[in-house]
Structure 1
Amino acid sequence: MTLLSPAISESTRVLDVPTHDPDHVRGAMGRFPTGVVALCAIVDGRRVGMVASSFSAGASYSPPMVMFSVQESSTTWPVLHRAERIGVSVLGSHQSDACMQLASRSRDRFEGLATTVTAEGAVLVDGAAMWFDCDVYSCVPAGDHSVVVMRVHSMNIDDEVAPLIYHERRFHGLREIDGGRA
């Protein structure tokens, strides 16, 4: 029996050496479209929240886990990390304003924002495409970020809401292609 090997292309792709310029790296990484999540909880009797575009659902299916990365310079994460439970809301395509508000460093992140609080203190943004009630499973340093893995205790989806997409430093919604969702 003879095994045939796939044809090998003669073309070669030359890759650039990574730069240490954060703006250049951020711009390059921003070419990959991602969803946007709000991470919120009650800490010391008040709502605390932040947004992340580095979220990954399905880090594990059994037990269910999700993950995201957070900058080491974040002043919100050390407070939010103390919460018993953290609500993760996959923001809907209509929630770009809510995303900007939750990311703000100069205004009340929750003023006028409709939320639901679970019995365990996870804060969920109303109108999102999906919600997770989580606790922190592990937090591992990774360069100028930490990778946070969270265990999912409960979740829900709204099939009528498409997720908000972040791509090339702008927000987008999904659009249909060839009769199906993109």
Structure 2
Amino acid sequence: MLGRFASGITVVAALDEHGGPVGLACQSFASLSLDPPLVLLCVGKSSSSWPRVERARRFGVSILADDQADTCAALGRRGSDKFAGIDWERTPNGAVRINNALATVDCELYAVHEAGDHYVITARVLDLDARPDGSPLLYFRSDYATGVFT
């Protein structure tokens, strides 16, 4: 039933202790609060990437565009070099941004709560950026979908 609820797909990414990118694909992301500005995301406890992002404390959330399914697939797999061939950059806040994403949010870790087999993470918004056009990459019925918006 929940597969019928379309959700956007994001990449949550940071710089590791060696200055390289580390991250994961995440479809559980939402705005939480305006004062203070907070967002939330949910990550499975089995994620091998989340502990590395958590240690960095600052990370970027890139909202993927409909032509970035390959980026989502790369960041959704297990392995050490998920960013091979991914166009990314470091932000002034020390986060990682996926280039050509619909929007990016620079974040600083605020709190982590255990919830079943996931963590519910809240993060303070440090900066926002969005491109003026494009449509989102969605996840719907266990597959990628696109939404055309003008």
Asked if residue 91 in structure 1 is aligned to residue 64 in structure 2, the reply is yes
Match in the other structure for 2:76: 103
- Secondary structure of residue in 2 paired with 1:162: coil
Match in the other structure for 2:132: 159
Q: Taking structure 2 as the reference length, what is the TM-score of the superposition?
A: 0.93
The alpha carbon displacement at 1:59 in A equals 0.4
AA aligned to 2:2 is M
Q: Taking structure 1 as the reference length, what is the TM-score of the superposition?
A: 0.78
Q: Which runs of 5+ in 1 are unaligned?
A: 1-27
Asked if residue 80 in structure 1 is aligned to residue 53 in structure 2, the reply is yes
- Secondary structure of residue in 2 paired with 1:82: helix
- Secondary structure of residue in 2 paired with 1:79: helix
AA aligned to 1:94 is D
Match in the other structure for 1:8: none
Write the distance in 1 (CA, Å) between the matches of 2:57 and 2:116. 26
AA aligned to 2:61 is V
Write the distance in 1 (CA, Å) between the matches of 2:2 and 2:79. 26
Change (3 A) 1:173 1:117: same
Match in the other structure for 1:123: 96
Match of 2:116 among 143, 149, 174: 143
Asked if residue 38 in structure 1 is aligned to residue 16 in structure 2, the reply is no
Q: Which aligned pairs between 1:163-174 and structure 2 lie closer than 5 A?
A: 163-174=136-147
Return structure 1 stretches of 4+ with deviation > 4 angstroms. none
Match in the other structure for 1:55: 29
| Cα RMSD, aligned residues only | 1.3
Q: Percent identity?
A: 34
Q: Work out which structure has the larger RCO, using CA pairs closer than 8 Å and 6 or more positions apart in sequence.
A: 2
AA aligned to 1:50 is L
The alpha carbon displacement at 1:108 in A equals 2.1
Where is the strand percentage greater, Structure 1 or Structure 2? 2
- Secondary structure of residue in 2 paired with 1:100: helix
Larger radius of gyration, structure 1 or 2?
A: 1
Match in the other structure for 1:70: 43
